[in-house]
Chains A and B, each alone.
Chain A
Amino acid sequence: MSAAAEGHEAQSQDILAKVHHDLNVWNFPDNGDVDFGFGPINLKTIVMTWIAMILVIIFTVSATRNMQLKRPGKLQLMVEEVFLFLRGLAVENLGTKKANSMMFLVFSLFIYLLFSNLLGLVPTMMSPTADVNTTLGMSISVFILAQVLGLYYKGLGYFKHFVQPFVFFLPINIVEELSKPLTHGFRIFGNIYAGEVLIAVLLGLIPITATIFGGFIASVVWLSFSIFVGFVQAFIFTMLTIVYISMSSAESH
């Protein structure tokens, strides 16, 4: 690497660090610096998760409080439409009975991920899903749930699919099974984290490019695209949850 490129990279790192430093108006400590006695934790992620949880609770409770049968309000209609859309997906993949028993998980996952993804677009806030701990924790939970449901619905016959079509395929099948939670968790993390980094970079570039490329226009365009990405990633995570559960609990494998 030439000295000029190295200097360039150091400069962009400086810009990013400066933006992060400027945006940290709440003075959160860096990741892993806080330890309440049971290991290092990321305080900012957890606080943002609580904010997202509170927003989800406020949204859903205000939407479902005082529900109307004949003239639903706007919030109620929104929640109902999301619910019906997800239930359609779940019924298609799982069958009505299993879908009804899994619906609360699917609905909660979607709403929570959506709010988490969109929270990062608010200045000085951060998406809980931009931390790999959140996404990996959820994907591993979904993975364990899928295994448990597979055992519950199919009994010990569930383990048969590890040795299909031959016993020889056992390690491959295990790797395939283990790769599911990893890709599941890292997909949403990568998308949301990249979106946040790019937001910070575009903010840092404003002083440099303001006169050449129109300054904050690129930042605004990227923010609006991030809204779309937030929806899509929440939907994909939910959809994959349904698919994994249906794969592990399907009657015929």
Chain B
Amino acid sequence: MGGILDSLGINQTLVAQVFNFVLLLIFLRIVVYPHIVRMLDERQKYIENTVNAAEEERKQAEDLRQQYLAEMQKSKDEARDIIQKASKAGEEQAREIIEAAKAESNRIKESALEDINREKEKAVSELREQVATLSILVASKIVNEKITADIQRGMIDEFIKEAGDLPC
């Protein structure tokens, strides 16, 4: 056994080398390794957080966009409503104005007709008065003074009545 080891060149260096390596292992484990693991963990977490945040922001932006679109649609609808209402109100008003004008003209026509009738009545009665007066004058000229004014008056009224029944 010893001969084999000697011919292979194996000696106490082996133990020393194992010791050296274990020493290096312990050093790296304590001084270097935790930093690497911590840094990699931190980086992984950082990337995860960033990706999550980006996803969240994207979602928020999408929501905001939808909201804006909805609001825009709503204001468009409102504008259309307002225009429709305004045009309807305008039509309504125009019709009201026309109706009022018609009513006014009717009223004016009615009152004018009434005036005409009244004036006519008045003129007729005035004419009657004058005819009566004239008749009295004419009769008094023609007929002598034997006929009294009262008799005369009765006769003339009768005559006028007959004349008034005639259509004029």
Interface positions of A (Cβ within 8 A of B): 31-32, 38-42, 45-46, 49-50, 53, 56-57, 60-61, 64-65, 67, 69-70, 76, 79-80, 83-84, 103-105, 107-108, 111-112, 128, 131-134, 136-138, 140-141
B43 within 8 Å of A by Cβ?
A: yes
Q: How many A-B residue pairs have CB under 8 A?
A: 108
Inter-chain contacts of A128 with B (CB < 8 A): 17
Segment of B25-33, B119-127, B132-140, B155-163 engaged in the interface with chain A: B25-33
| Cβ distance B102 to chain A, nearest Cβ, rounded Å | 85
The residue from B11, B24, B28, B32 contacting A40, defined by CB atoms under 8 A apart: B11
Write 23 A-B pairs (CB below 8 A) sorted by A numbering.
Answer: A41-B11, A42-B9, A42-B11, A45-B13, A46-B17, A46-B20, A49-B20, A56-B24, A60-B31, A61-B32, A64-B35, A69-B46, A70-B46, A103-B33, A103-B37, A104-B28, A133-B11, A133-B14, A134-B14, A137-B18, A138-B17, A140-B18, A141-B18
Contact B42 A107 (CB under 8 A): no
The residue from B10, B25, B35 contacting A108, defined by CB atoms under 8 A apart: B25
Q: Determine the interface band of chain B, counting residues with CB < 8 A from chain A.
A: 20 to 34
- In Å, the complex CA distance between A69 and B46 comes to 8
B131 within 8 Å of A by Cβ?
A: no
The residue from B10, B33, B43 contacting A69, defined by CB atoms under 8 A apart: B43
- In Å, the complex CA distance between A32 and B9 comes to 8
B39 within 8 Å of A by Cβ?
A: yes
| Cβ distance A135 to chain B, nearest Cβ, rounded Å | 9
- In Å, the complex CA distance between A4 and B36 comes to 60
CB within 8 Å of A: which of B20-60?
20-25, 27-29, 31-33, 35-37, 39-40, 42-43, 46
Inter-chain contacts of A104 with B (CB < 8 A): 25, 28-29, 33
In the complex with contacts A61-B31, A141-B21, A46-B13 CB distance below 8 A: yes
| Complex: chain A residue closest to B38, CB-CB | A67
| Complex: chain B residue closest to A100, CB-CB | B37
B142 within 8 Å of A by Cβ?
A: no
The residue from B21, B32, B36, B39 contacting A138, defined by CB atoms under 8 A apart: B21
In order of increasing CB-CB distance, the 3 nearest A-B pairs are: A39-B12, A133-B13, A64-B35
Other contacts beyond A31-B9, A57-B27: 18, CB < 8 A: A45-B17, A46-B17, A50-B20, A53-B24, A57-B24, A69-B46, A84-B40, A103-B37, A104-B29, A105-B25, A108-B28, A108-B29, A111-B28, A131-B9, A131-B17, A132-B8, A132-B9, A138-B17
